[in-house]
Amino acid sequence: MRDEGIEEWAETGTRIKFIRVDGLEAGDSLSPAEALRYSAFRMEKRRSEWLAGRLAAKTLLAGTAEGKSLSSFEITNDSLGRPSCGGALLSISHSNGWAMAAMKPGSAFLGADLEKIEERHPAWYRDYFHASELPNPDPSEATRIWAIKEALLKALGLGLAADPLDIRTDEKIRFGGKALERYVSLGSPVFSVETRRFPEGFWTGVAA
């Protein structure tokens, strides 16, 4: 496994791990249940991305428990479908050859998203952004805002089951619709959002 290092993101208080997807091997890093799921993937791309995300997350977990093997950490889902391990909430994302994982010990609100900057169909800008968020269809800024929305929807345990327009990023983060309902049900937690243009040609967004 190629180790790109673990980063500390101060604004959100999270630890982040980035890994290149290609050329990875599972070795003895997976639990029996994870190994079974890994072997069940039919598409090589999906299998590789899934493995890279798990390895990134397990590296973060191992950093808080010295001496434990990666296979001793089994990543499952919490009641909202978010990745977790032994009560520790995680978030995993992958895009165009990269995977990443985020962790914040003790947090009940955590989401992360990795997105490649690229041109999109005009309908994408119209369908997912308020005019006040994105006055002009700029690919980089749109990707940054999209990463924020995805991170927040993951933190809420909703993913794209909620409308991205239910999250507004202009001025301050505001929720509406299904996103607001879930946010209130979680106790309306105080959270921070952090974005960085990393890796090169990507935006990464974290909400915690």
CATH number assigned to the domain comprising residue 191:
3.90.470.20
Boundaries of domain holding 82: 6-207
For residue 4, what are the contacts with CB-CB under 8 A and spacing of at least 6? 17, 18, 19, 20
Residue 37 lies in a domain: yes
Ramachandran angles phi, psi of 34, nearest 5°: -70, -40
For the segment 175-184, the average pLDDT, to the nearest whole number, is 98
pLDDT digits (tens, 9 = 90+) for 103-116: 998 999 999 999 99
Helical axes 44-62 vs 32-40, angle rounded to 10°: 160
Rounded percentage of the chain residues whose pLDDT exceeds 70: 98
| Helix residue spans in the chain (DSSP H) | 32-40, 44-62, 122-128, 139-155, 177-185
Residue 178 lies in a domain: yes
**Is residue 90 a contact partner of residue 157, using CB atoms and an 8 Å limit?**
no
Residue 58 lies in a domain: yes
- Count of domains observed in the chain: 1
pLDDT digits (tens, 9 = 90+) for 109-149: 999 999 999 999 999 999 999 999 999 999 999 999 999 99
Q: Is the pLDDT of residue 3 over 70?
A: no
**Is residue 103 a contact partner of residue 163, using CB atoms and an 8 Å limit?**
no
Residue 1 lies in a domain: no
